[in-house]
Amino acid sequence: MRGDMTFALKQLRSAWRAGEIRVLLFALVLAVAAMTAVGFFADRIESALGRQGGMLLGGDLVVVSDRLLPEEFTAEARRLGLRVAQTMEFPSMVMLGEEGRLAEIKAVSPTYPLRGRLTIADEPFGDARKADGVPTLGEIWIEPRLAGLLGAQKGDALAVGERQLKVAAILQEEPARGGDMFSIAPRLMMNANDVASTGLIQYGSRVRYRLLLAGEPVALDEFRQWAQGRLERGSRIEDVSGARPEIRSALEKSRQFLGLASMASVILSMVAMSLAGLRYVRRHLDTCALMRCFGASQNRILQVFLVQALLLGLAGSLLGCLFGFAAQEVLARLAGGLFLEKLPAPGWTPAFGGLLAGMAAMLGVMLPHLLRLRGVPALRILRKDLGENAVVSWLAWLPGIAVMLGLVFWSARDAKLGWIVLGGLVALLLVACAVAAGTGYLLRRVAATSGGTWRVGIANLLQRPGVGIAQVAGFSLGLMAMALLTIVRGDLLDNWHASLPPDAPNRFVINIQPNQMESMRQFFVQEQLAPPEIFPMVRGRLVAINDHPLDTGRYVEERARRLAEREWNLSVAETMQKDNRIVAGRWWAASERGQMLISLEEGIATTLDIKLGDRLTYDIGGQRVDLKIQSLRKVEWDSMRANFFAVTPPGVLEKFPASYITSFHLPAGREDVLNRLVRSQPNLTIIDVEAILAQLRGIMDRMTLAVEFVFAFCMLTGIAVLYAALSATQDERIREVAVLRVFGASRRQVRATVLVEFAGIGLLAGLVATIGASLLAWVISDRLLQIPYAFNPGLAILTIGAGLLLVPAAAWLGVRRIVHVSPRQILQSV
Amino acid sequence: MVPDSQENIEIEATGLSKHVTSSEGELAILSDFSCRVLGGETVAILGASGSGKSTLLGLLAGLDVPSAGRVIFRSEDLAQLDEDGRAMLRGRHMGFVFQSFQLLPALTALENVLLPLELAGAADADERARAALERVGLTPRLTHYPRQLSGGEQQRVAIARAFAPRPSILFADEPTGNLDAATGQRIIDLLFGLNAESGTTLVLVTHDATLAERCGRRLHLEGGRLKQ
């Protein structure tokens, strides 16, 4: 065994010197680097996303309860090393002199918020600054709307219960506030230690208690488990999974992009490895025959080459992990200011994963090759044709395919994306085989009627149909990756950016009354702003599905239960909004006005287990309304426009009291408009989403950079595939060139032969790649990313042109030097 | 047919035939060949191209299996052994020299000679390999790769490799086929010299009558049959 190891090492060393394993190693390093880089990065984004969500919640985990939580909850959290803050929320009237308004009071402990920040200003919509702590004893902060409604200013004292509390600042931003756009009453924030003295909390008061926690994920998990069994009815645990849908949606897309890039790298790398393995095997057939001749058993041969594959796999995986780690650091820097906090340090899981994946990829890819080597007959030593085209059982390919499938899904982090790309790949391979076979037939006919270099070039192309197909497929894949990269980087990213134009709505106005619609329109005209679209909103409670009374207890998921229990905002629309897309059923026709139909957002339908055609009964103001689901819609929440879970055709909800909602774009520097709007119509609530919008744009910009960086891996692996495909037949080509030279072929004739052969392969590959890349880009954009895709004819021409020119040029570069060497020397060296 | 006396019989072939099926039907490459080679004998198998010489060599060395007949090597019936069993037998007892040298291009001269020794697990492999190369006069070329050696030198490495494991029988397939006359002569001298020193049985396939003359016995093949 020690001898085998030494022999394997020696062979490996000399194979390295001979350049046989460089492509193999290079491809493996790239695959592992791509997987681990994205893995490490996604890992960090995932935890950053958690914290980001935490900023929206005010903590990483929140226990919400209708009753004061037992002291043991806080004690346990502290024992686990978690940071703790408490809040109480309740509605109450507050007065300024004789003027009274209902406010949503939030009393906070001094440690609030644990994540995110509070921003305050001295006047409504004034210059915001980060708050240093919470309102001190005897002081309160109020929202601009409350200030507007009461006509209060900084320094005024408001009556809150039995106390007079001084307005110390205008509250601009608070965690979790943006999450509930439709809260009716404006916010008043006070110190929790003042609550008792206000006398507002009595037995039976409607108070929502929150215990906010922040700390290490392990401790949080432990706390969650501990708390789960102790929660009483009316209490629940919230985490960041319910964080803002817009941000999640944008980050989801980024992750899909990254997954796509990393997955493409993995597929390409494995194809490159397989092609490189082909040459490696061909180079070692004689070694195996000789070893058999000298008495080595089949298993011993397998052992020797297995050791080589393992060593190579280990070296490649370690190198790949190192490169991947370095690359993710670059990614993290590119994504730099994306998150409010520094990205958390990467975990070690991706490194172990990468190492394992690399070894698995190497063994999976090499297994059929190794089995071929194992089966080389000793007689090959006398008869060179033996073992040359041996076919191993298709079963031998299964581990490799399984590894590829596993890695594809692992790196895609999205089953749908994985299936789409795999489907595309299989289709591409089938098309490549069909095109190669069909062209082979045509070429045979052409060859029969042509002469000289053409005939030799074509004959070369036809003599190894299997290798020819592998080459066409390899070149196609390489070119397709590059074309796809260009499409995705160009078209798809542009489209993504276009979905959030510079004039995307950055303010929402809610609580508009029917009699205010006209004055609203006038206000916008006066302010020289484009009059926005105003949507009606009727509040109703879902009471039955298909005539079965709604039983929220059947929903296991907390979120589903909450969604089902809360009041729905039903809207009305004749035509579907541009950023919506029907995924099932159809939108109503004009003739269906007044029919009892409803269109639901796909996500909520899935969460509540509601299907197309189901009948929903809503209780609207004490009246029951039956609506049949005519369509399910996918909503682009990250477009920042007003959107609704449930929409009915006109003529259904008009008889019910409605309030209206709109969104509009307020250019920077015109914040004074908001003051005038609130002053003229004090009941309106304006929600500022500029911060979220900026965050979305930041995500797009930075993630685009990150995606392009990962796609650079793809480019490299694409090149590796092209190189591997080229080198798969390099030895034969050199031998053929030598033979042609022996028979007196001129340099020009030799060049023509090589160029004809590879122009043929390149043209086919270019065609297949164009078809493959366009189809795949279309499927990915349409089915997965939901962004429109336009076929790019220029790119198609470029891809075919690249195949037609680059492949023969590279092939010629590979054999060019041979033309200057004596044929005898060449024949001896191959 | 079992020989009357098994004493000193190195290899015995009985009724050996080899057929291949082609598009034009069945083709007989070797038909009903029988012979017996004694230990220490030098036997030349002569014949024109396509007469079945190399096929016969392959069958005798257990590199291939006959369509009919059998080969007994040192009282082991090769047909009774599986592929690995035959490989083990070759590793223990047989040496090979080929027309096209069959050196591994990625290994140096020394490493090429070491290959069968290491495969056999010889403890003193390095020593023996160096000695074998010294014997063929290639000590200064130990670290050279095949492509850095002349044809004659490559064949000398191959001869050193064949003799280093001290086989009891050596199969040589047209050992001078790729060499010019003078070099070929030197190689033959070396081969027979080493053979005499080690007392190895030699089975040599050639179409060169002069070379065959140096063997103790000559078997002529014609159209796949032994010419009497």
Q: How many CB pairs under 8 A join A and B?
A: 86
B86 vs A292, A298, A378, CA distance in Å? 9, 11, 10
CATH topology of domain B9-221: Rossmann fold (3.40.50)
**pTM higher than 0.90, yes or no?**
no
My answer on whether A559 and A672 are in the same domain is yes
A286 to chain B: which residues are within 8 Å by CB?
102, 104
Please give the Cα distance from A576 to A721 (Å, whole number): 46
Q: Which of B119, B145, B161, B171 to mutate to test the interface with A (most CBs of A within 10 A)?
A: B119
A299 to chain B: which residues are within 8 Å by CB?
84
Residue with the bigger pLDDT between A163 and A480: it is A163
Residue B85 scores a pLDDT above 70: yes
**pLDDT band per the 50, 70, 90 thresholds, residue A247:** low
Average pLDDT estimate for A82-99: 88
| pLDDT in the model for residue A84 | 93
For residue A113, say if its preceding peptide bond is cis, omega within 30 degrees of 0. yes
My answer on whether A426 and A398 are in the same domain is no
Interchain pair B90, A378: CB under 8 A:
yes
Provide the percentage of residues in chain A whose pLDDT is more than 90. Answer: 12
**Number of C-beta neighbours around residue A732 at 10 A:** 15
Tell me if chain B has a CB within 8 Å of the CB of A371.
no
Tell me if chain A has a CB within 8 Å of the CB of B92.
yes
Task: Flag the least confident range among A195-199, A273-277, A639-643, B115-119.
Answer: A639-643
Tell me if chain A has a CB within 8 Å of the CB of B116.
yes
Interchain pair B63, A17: CB under 8 A:
no
My answer on whether A594 and A700 are in the same domain is no
Q: Mind listing the pLDDT tens digit for each residue in A763-818?
A: 888 888 888 888 888 877 777 666 677 777 888 888 888 888 888 887 887 777 76
Nearest to A263 by CA among A37, A479, A44: A37
| pLDDT in the model for residue A189 | 94
Q: Look at phi and psi of residue B174 and say left if phi exceeds 0, alpha if psi is from -120 to 50, else beta.
A: left
Please give the Cα distance from A346 to A730 (Å, whole number): 42
My answer on whether A262 and A330 are in the same domain is yes
CB A25 within 8 A of CB A316: yes
| pLDDT in the model for residue A461 | 57
Enter the tokens of residue B104: 């591994």
Q: Look at phi and psi of residue A412 and say left if phi exceeds 0, alpha if psi is from -120 to 50, else beta.
A: alpha
Residue A180 scores a pLDDT above 50: no
Enter the tokens of residue A703: 């993630």
CB A523 within 8 A of CB A568: no
Tell me if chain B has a CB within 8 Å of the CB of A14.
yes
Looking at the structure of chain A, the number of domains it has is: 4
Tell me if chain B has a CB within 8 Å of the CB of A303.
no
Q: List beta partners, residue A536.
A: A660
Q: Which of A4, A286, A382 to mutate to test the interface with B (most CBs of B within 10 A)?
A: A382
Positive or negative, the CA dihedral B67, B69, B75, B80 is: positive
CB A674 within 8 A of CB A507: yes
Residue span of the structural domain in which A757 resides: 417-502+690-830
Q: Mind listing the pLDDT tens digit for each residue in A559-571?
A: 677 777 777 889 9
Q: Token match 């291949």: residue?
A: B20
The amino acid at residue A724 is A
B90 to chain A: which residues are within 8 Å by CB?
293-295, 378
What does DSSP assign to residue B147?
A: G
Which B-chain residues 142-201 have CB contacts (< 8 A) with chain A?
Answer: 147, 165, 173
Dmax of chain B from CA atoms? 53
At A508, is the secondary structure helix, strand, or coil?
Answer: strand
Tell me if chain A has a CB within 8 Å of the CB of B64.
yes
At A641, is the secondary structure helix, strand, or coil?
Answer: coil
B57 to chain A: which residues are within 8 Å by CB?
382
My answer on whether A680 and A543 are in the same domain is yes
Nearest CA in chain A to B84: A297
At A794, is the secondary structure helix, strand, or coil?
Answer: helix
Instruction: Convert A71-131 into a string of H (helix), E (strand) and C (coil).
Output: HHHHHHHHHCCCEEEEEEEEEEEEEECCEEEEEEEEEECCCCCCCCCCEEECCCCCCCEEC
Residue A343 scores a pLDDT above 80: no
Interchain pair A300, B119: CB under 8 A:
yes
Contacts of A631 (CB under 8 A, 6+ apart): A582, A584, A585, A586, A587, A588, A599, A600, A612
| pLDDT in the model for residue A179 | 41
Note the Cα A385 to chain centre separation in Å.
Answer: 50
Measured between alpha carbons, how far apart are the two ends of chain A, in Å?
A: 31
**pLDDT band per the 50, 70, 90 thresholds, residue A211:** very high
- The mean pLDDT of chain B is 87
Residue with the bigger pLDDT between A509 and A72: it is A72
Enter the tokens of residue A173: 């931003």
Q: Token match 């020299």: residue?
A: B97
Contacts of A770 (CB under 8 A, 6+ apart): A483, A795, A796, A799, A800
The amino acid at residue A477 is L
- The radius of gyration of chain B from alpha carbons, rounded to an integer in Å, stands at 18
Question: In this predicted complex, what is the ipTM?
Answer: 0.86
Q: Look at phi and psi of residue A645 and say left if phi exceeds 0, alpha if psi is from -120 to 50, else beta.
A: alpha
Domain locations in chain B?
9-221
CA neighbours closer than 13 Å in the CB half-sphere of residue A218: 2
Please give the Cα distance from A625 to B188 (Å, whole number): 107
Note the Cα A408 to chain centre separation in Å.
Answer: 14
CB A403 within 8 A of CB A274: no
| pLDDT in the model for residue A49 | 60
Of A238, A258, A285, the position where a domain reaches its end is: A238
A51 vs A54, A108, A342, CA distance in Å? 4, 20, 10
Measured between alpha carbons, how far apart are the two ends of chain B, in Å?
A: 19
Please give the Cα distance from B185 to B191 (Å, whole number): 10
What are the backbone angles phi and psi of residue A31, rounded to the nearest 5°?
A: -60, -50
Residues of B101-131 as b/e, b for ≥16 C-beta within 10 angstroms?
A: bbbbbbbbbbbbbbbbbbbbebeebeebbbe
Interchain pair A382, B91: CB under 8 A:
no
CB A483 within 8 A of CB A655: no
At A64, is the secondary structure helix, strand, or coil?
Answer: strand
Tell me if chain A has a CB within 8 Å of the CB of B32.
no
My answer on whether A95 and A196 are in the same domain is yes
At A357, is the secondary structure helix, strand, or coil?
Answer: helix
Residue A575 scores a pLDDT above 80: yes
- Find the length of chain A: 830
Please give the Cα distance from A136 to A221 (Å, whole number): 33
Instruction: Convert A248-262 into a string of H (helix), E (strand) and C (coil).
Output: HHHHHHHHHHHHHHH
Element (H, E) at B71: strand B68-73
A296 to chain B: which residues are within 8 Å by CB?
87, 91, 119
At A23, is the secondary structure helix, strand, or coil?
Answer: helix
A373 to chain B: which residues are within 8 Å by CB?
none
Enter the tokens of residue A674: 């908001």
My answer on whether A300 and A217 are in the same domain is no
Q: Which of A282, A291, A294 to mutate to test the interface with B (most CBs of B within 10 A)?
A: A294
At A38, is the secondary structure helix, strand, or coil?
Answer: helix
My answer on whether A481 and A607 are in the same domain is no
Please give the Cα distance from B69 to B8 (Å, whole number): 21
Residue B2 scores a pLDDT above 60: no
CB A648 within 8 A of CB A486: no
Please give the Cα distance from B222 to B226 (Å, whole number): 6
| pLDDT in the model for residue A468 | 67
Please give the Cα distance from A446 to A312 (Å, whole number): 44
At A596, is the secondary structure helix, strand, or coil?
Answer: coil
My answer on whether A570 and A645 are in the same domain is yes
Of A398, A413, A428, the position where a domain reaches its end is: A413
Nearest to A396 by CA among A417, A366, A376, A426: A366
CB A725 within 8 A of CB A478: yes
Positive or negative, the CA dihedral B86, B91, B95, B96 is: positive
Please give the Cα distance from B83 to A298 (Å, whole number): 8
What are the backbone angles phi and psi of residue A168, rounded to the nearest 5°?
A: -95, -20
Interchain pair B84, A298: CB under 8 A:
yes
Average pLDDT estimate for A178-190: 65
Residue A18 scores a pLDDT above 90: no
Of A208, A238, A268, the position where a domain reaches its end is: A238
Q: Look at phi and psi of residue A155 and say left if phi exceeds 0, alpha if psi is from -120 to 50, else beta.
A: left
Tell me if chain B has a CB within 8 Å of the CB of A286.
yes
Residue A340 scores a pLDDT above 50: no
My answer on whether A233 and A271 are in the same domain is no
Average pLDDT estimate for B201-222: 89
Please give the Cα distance from B171 to B192 (Å, whole number): 12
At B164, is the secondary structure helix, strand, or coil?
Answer: coil
Nearest CA in chain A to B60: A379
My answer on whether A155 and A88 are in the same domain is yes
Tell me if chain A has a CB within 8 Å of the CB of B104.
yes
My answer on whether A267 and A409 are in the same domain is yes
Q: Mind listing the pLDDT tens digit for each residue in B180-197?
A: 888 888 888 888 888 888
Nearest to A412 by CA among A778, A721, A47, A784: A784
Tell me if chain A has a CB within 8 Å of the CB of B47.
no
Interchain pair B91, A828: CB under 8 A:
no
Tell me if chain A has a CB within 8 Å of the CB of B66.
no
Please give the Cα distance from B86 to A798 (Å, whole number): 57
